[in-house]
Structure 1
């Protein structure tokens, strides 16, 4: 059984479809990257899966459970799906340590000591423990992203979602985050990543889904889509020099 199965997913805003019948599956330990033109529904897809945005129709199975049902415990679902947002979404009034501890205390009901131990473990994993008492305004973009990843991992999710993890970073910091995500890939962390960064896609993915006009137009390994696809529009998207769009 796949960890995640999405079938016929539709999301409309003001009667206009942003997602128009998306199907995808994700196995335990697998990494898939979602790519496509701006506005094609990539981020909306991630947000529908963890119910930050309500799907219009379709079905989402998480470990065999239909999580689109109205009686779904959405808070419990979001604990199983770690989400790293494009612009980090850190609380400005909390230190790096306290940003990570917040969910552990409020959702996992850990004691302060337990939450501190878990948060420090993930900060060490991200090479950020020396910055534990700094506030987001005192951190670089790459450091903020590391804290955001540590916060997601601390909840021990079954899968980690990334929404454009390198788009808000300069090239040097982006490469650092790519190396970090690649280490998670090597550690067998299940991931679903939305990105425009072809370098990141080549580096971390088992499979790439090409999304266009709210539909999955193609799925394949890196070379199939980036180098040798039959569709000229897809080849053009992944043309020479493509890094970010």
Structure 2
């Protein structure tokens, strides 16, 4: 049984269908990357999977439990899914350490000393422990993303969701973050990542889910999608002729 099982997921906004029957599995310890043209539903898919957006229909099973059911414990689900947002989503009035400990204290009801110990462990893992007392305004984009990843990891999630983790960064900072995510990949952290960054996709993924007009058009290893794919839409997206 896969950790995450998505079946025929549909999301509409009014008359517009953004996700149209999306189906895939994510195994524990696996990394999959979601790619596709702008507006194809990539970020909406992530938000539906942890119920930040309500799916219109379909099934999302996490660790065998149906998460689209009215009785599903959405709060418990979100504690099992670490979400690293494109814009970092750090609280500007809190220090780096307080940003990482906040959910530990408020959601997990962890004692302050234990929360700090876990936070510092994850900040060290992201090479950010020396910035514990800094505020987000003083951090670079790459440093902010490291703190956001540390905050997600501190909750000990079963899976990490990344939404365009390098898009707000300059090329040098982006490559640093790619290296950090690759470290997690090599540690068999379960990851689902939305990105337009082909370098990141090649570097960290077991496979790429190619989304087009709300549908899964293909799912395959990066090298197969890049090597002159027979589907002209996929070939065009990756800059290759069919």
Moved over 3 A (4+): none
The aligned residue for residue 128 of structure 2 is: 128
* Equivalent-residue separation in structure 2 for 1:208 and 1:14 (angstroms): 29
* Equivalent-residue separation in structure 2 for 1:71 and 1:226 (angstroms): 42
The aligned residue for residue 101 of structure 1 is: 101
* Equivalent-residue separation in structure 2 for 1:88 and 1:71 (angstroms): 30
The aligned residue for residue 21 of structure 1 is: 21
5+ long unaligned stretches in structure 2: none
* Equivalent-residue separation in structure 2 for 1:238 and 1:228 (angstroms): 9
Cα offset for 1:52?
A: 0.3
1:75-118 deviation per Cα after TM superposition (whole angstroms, max 9, x unaligned): 11000000000000000100110000000001111000000000
Cα offset for 1:228?
A: 3.3
TM-score by length of 1: 0.97
The aligned residue for residue 231 of structure 1 is: 231
Cα offset for 1:226?
A: 1.5
1:125-169 deviation per Cα after TM superposition (whole angstroms, max 9, x unaligned): 000000011010010000000000000000000000000000000
Alignment of 1:88-167 (within 5 A): 88-167=88-167
The aligned residue for residue 209 of structure 1 is: 209
Cα offset for 1:15?
A: 2.3
SS at match of 1:12: strand
SS at match of 2:37: coil
SS at match of 1:193: strand
1:173-202 deviation per Cα after TM superposition (whole angstroms, max 9, x unaligned): 000000000000011100000000000000
* Equivalent-residue separation in structure 2 for 1:226 and 1:74 (angstroms): 37
5+ long unaligned stretches in structure 1: 241-245
The aligned residue for residue 50 of structure 1 is: 50
Q: In the alignment, is residue 172 of structure 1 matched against residue 172 of structure 2?
A: yes
Moved more, 49-58 or 229-238: 229-238
